[in-house]
């Protein structure tokens, strides 16, 4: 059941991420060119991380790790890091979308945070 839900969420995520325009912008503002911004982007030293991308990949990868990390640890890690790069690279060729390094950093940071949270949770669970 959770695997099926993950596949459904992952498919919807891909559609929203790869659609040439902002589906959420259209739903909220009736404008495909306006992207909703949940919070300000994160800035650390010289690096800028897109907060929307951090949140999106954090949520998706947390759910994916919950479903798959025990049985397919290496595959799910490769999958999430791959899509975090590939989805952003696809923005180079998708009309009305653009590649942004801060988005790529946000994608990767979201996956890393979820991995760290998930591993900490299991470490604490093992100790208790």
Do the domain assignments include residue 95?
A: yes
Residue with tokens 């595959």: 75
Total-model pTM: 0.88
Task: Report d(CA 128, CA 117) in Å as an integer.
Answer: 17
Task: State the pLDDT confidence band at 90, using cuts at 50, 70 and 90.
Answer: very high
Which range, 15-29, 38-52, 92-106, is most confident?
Answer: 92-106
Q: pLDDT at residue 37 above 80?
A: no
Domain span including residue 6: 2-13+50-127
Do the domain assignments include residue 59?
A: yes
Do the domain assignments include residue 44?
A: no
Task: Report d(CA 20, CA 125) in Å as an integer.
Answer: 42
Question: How many domains would you assign to the chain?
Answer: 1
Of 68, 56, 53, 62, the closest CA to residue 4 belongs to: 68
Q: Which residue has the higher pLDDT, 33 or 80?
A: 80
Do the domain assignments include residue 40?
A: no
């Amino acid at each position: 059941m959770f695997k099926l839900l993950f596949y459904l969420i992952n498919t919807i995520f891909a559609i929203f991420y790869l659609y040439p325009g902002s589906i959420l912008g259209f739903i909220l503002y009736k404008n495909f060119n306006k992207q909703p911004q949940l919070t300000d982007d994160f800035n650390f030293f010289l690096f800028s991380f897109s907060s929307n991308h951090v949140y999106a990949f954090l949520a998706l990868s947390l759910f994916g790790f919950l479903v798959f990390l025990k049985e397919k640890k290496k595959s799910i890690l490769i999958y999430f890091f791959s899509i975090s790069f590939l989805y952003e690279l696809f923005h180079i060729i998708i009309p009305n979308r653009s590649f942004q390094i801060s988005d790529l950093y946000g994608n990767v940071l979201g996956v890393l945070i979820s991995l760290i949270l998930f591993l900490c949770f299991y470490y604490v669970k093992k100790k208790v």
